[in-house]
Every structure is written in structure tokens, then in C-alpha cells.
Amino acid sequence: MKSNGLIVALVILLSIIVFFLVMFLVVYLKGGATFMNFGSSKNDVIFDETFSMENIQSIDIEQDAGDIIFKETTNDNIQVVLYGDGRDTVNVNVVGNKLSINYTVRKNFALLNFGMVKKDIVVYIPSIYSNQIDIKNSYGNTEIPDLENAKVNIEADCRKCKYW
């Protein structure tokens, strides 16, 4: 009689394990899960566009996860390059004189996750840019060169910010 209780407990435990394995399999087959992720970086360019600096009075960047890197350029254009895997939500537009970049990472389930897949924003900006830059980065590094006349506001929740 004592073995009946053990058998019932094992059947319940196996049922729970089978339930979670089936749920993981369903999520994985729909493309919303990865088995192993070691923090690899995607190098696919998913957006690359150039804007005239004369039309831009302010730059507003909001990103969930990834690095935001500003690089100086010698021409009079602002170039925005976004890296990722193409499944994320990217909104880059100019409304009035404001360049708005919103990069939202697609949430997915990972069984063994040792780091997120990085989604980077690289902005090539003239060194003579002298207007407003607002940055909100929830996870990742932020690097901005020495823009002597620009007004920069950075809101970062973690990692590091470099402003020369």
C-alpha cells in the first residue's frame, strides 16, 4: 500500500515535467524561444539612412537593450545605422525638426541565457552639431564623443556611459 502513494507522486511529478516540456516546445516552435544564448552580437544592418543636419534641431533616442554609439563625421549629415536581427520594432522618423529613434527589442524566452543578443544603434554625427540630444537606454553602453556645443541628456538604467 505504501508503494501506491509513491507511484501517485511520481505520476504527478512526471505529468508536471511533461507539461513544461510541451509548453517550451510550443513556444520554441513559434520562434519565440532560443535554447542557448551566449551574448552573441548580430551584425545585420536593419536600418541605414542619412538625414540633413540643417533639418534636425533635436535627436531623441529610446532603446530597450543594446549599445548607443555616436561617432564623429566630417560631413554635414547625420547617419543612423541600426544593427539587429530584423524581428524587433524599429521606428526612425523626423517629425518637425526632431529625429526620433525608438528601438524596442522583441522579448523571447531562452532556456540557457548567458547574455542578450545585442541590438546596437550607431549615429554618425558632425562634430559641429550644437543642438539637443536626449537618450534613454534601459540596458547597454552609451558612448558620445566631445560635442562642444550640444546639449546632452542621458537616462541610463545600467551598464556604463562615456561622454568625452
Residues 13-30 have a mean pLDDT of: 87
Rg over alpha carbons for the chain, rounded to the nearest Å, is 23
Over residues 47-90, the pLDDT tens digits come to 899 998 888 899 999 988 888 999 998 888 999 998 887 666 78
Beta bridge pairs of residue 117: none
Over residues 8-20, the pLDDT tens digits come to 999 999 999 999 9
Over residues 116-129, the pLDDT tens digits come to 556 789 999 998 88
CA distance 24 to 90: 28
Of residues 134 and 105, the one with the higher pLDDT is 134
